[in-house]
Amino acid sequence: MLLVLASVRVSLADSMWLVDTRSMTTIRLSPAEQSQISQLRQWFTSLEELQLWGGPAMGWARTEQDWYRMINWPQCPSFLMHEGPEFIGFGQVRYLVNDSEADCCHLARLIISPGSRGRGFGEQLIKRLMQQGERLWRAQAYSLYVYQHNEPAIKLYRKLGFQPEGCYEGFEKVLRMVKRG
C-alpha cells in the first residue's frame, strides 16, 4: 500500500505555510496590511455581493482610506491567504468575551478571490483562521455568520463541523453557525 501525503505544513512566526505537493504551490496565511486590503474592493461587482460578504450594514467606500477603516475592526486581526505570490483569500478573527461565548473565536468576512473559488481554498482558509484563534486566544469554539441562501458556504461550514445555532440578532436571513470542541 502506497501512502502519499497531500500537503506539508510549516509555521513561521505569524505566517502559516502550506505546500500542496500535488501542484507544488505554496499556500501562505499572513497578517494583512492596509495596501493589501485595498485589493479586496476589486472582488465585488455589486452592493449585494459586498453585503453577502461583509453583512447587511456594509456599504461602498468612497476612498481607499474609508475602505480600510470599514474593514479594519479593532481587536479583530485580518489575514490574507496567498497562493505563491498571488493574494487569493481574506478572513478575520475576533475573540468573543461574553458569558455565553466563553473561549469563542468568531470568524468574519471570509472570502476567496473569484478566480480561485472551487479549488478547496475556502476550507484551507477557515482551518488556518481557526489555528490563529487557538494560537492567539486558546479558543475552544468558533462561530461565524452566513446568509441562509448561501448554500455553498453552508455546505463547507457543515463539512468543517459547524452547526446552525439561530440567527443574527435583528436579521433573520443571517444564520449563526458554531463549532465547539
Tell me which H or E stretch contains 70.
helix 64-71
Whichever domain contains 63, its CATH number is 3.40.630.30
Number of domains in the chain: 1
Amino acid making up residue 131: Q
Could you tell me if 79 and 91 are in contact, meaning their C-beta atoms sit under 8 angstroms apart? Answer: yes
Q: How many CB atoms lie within 10 A of CB 130?
A: 19
The residue among 161 and 2 whose pLDDT is bigger is 161
Q: Which pLDDT does position 30 carry in this prediction?
A: 93
State the average pLDDT over residues 113-133. Answer: 95
Within a domain: residue 83? Answer: no
Distance CA 44, CA 47 (A): 8
The residue among 105 and 26 whose pLDDT is bigger is 105
Asked if pLDDT for residue 114 goes beyond 90, the answer is yes
Asked if pLDDT for residue 69 goes beyond 80, the answer is yes
64 is in which domain, residue-wise? 46-78+91-180
Within a domain: residue 26? Answer: no
pLDDT category at 4 given cuts 50, 70, 90 is very low
Average confidence score pLDDT of the chain: 82
Asked if pLDDT for residue 25 goes beyond 80, the answer is no
Within a domain: residue 104? Answer: yes
Q: Which pLDDT does position 81 carry in this prediction?
A: 96
Could you tell me if 60 and 70 are in contact, meaning their C-beta atoms sit under 8 angstroms apart? Answer: no
Q: Which of the given ranges, 67-81, 92-106, 115-129, has the highest pLDDT on average?
A: 115-129
Q: How many CB atoms lie within 10 A of CB 150?
A: 16
Within a domain: residue 2? Answer: no
Distance CA 127, CA 133 (A): 10
Within a domain: residue 169? Answer: yes
Query: Any idea which residue has 468612497 for its cell?
Result: 62
Distance CA 121, CA 141 (A): 22
Within a domain: residue 33? Answer: no
pLDDT category at 9 given cuts 50, 70, 90 is very low
State the average pLDDT over residues 50-78. Answer: 85
State the average pLDDT over residues 17-28. Answer: 59
Within a domain: residue 146? Answer: yes
Within a domain: residue 139? Answer: yes
Tell me which H or E stretch contains 136.
helix 121-137
Could you tell me if 123 and 24 are in contact, meaning their C-beta atoms sit under 8 angstroms apart? Answer: no
Could you tell me if 147 and 52 are in contact, meaning their C-beta atoms sit under 8 angstroms apart? Answer: yes
Tens of pLDDT, residues 138-159: 998 999 999 999 999 999 999 9
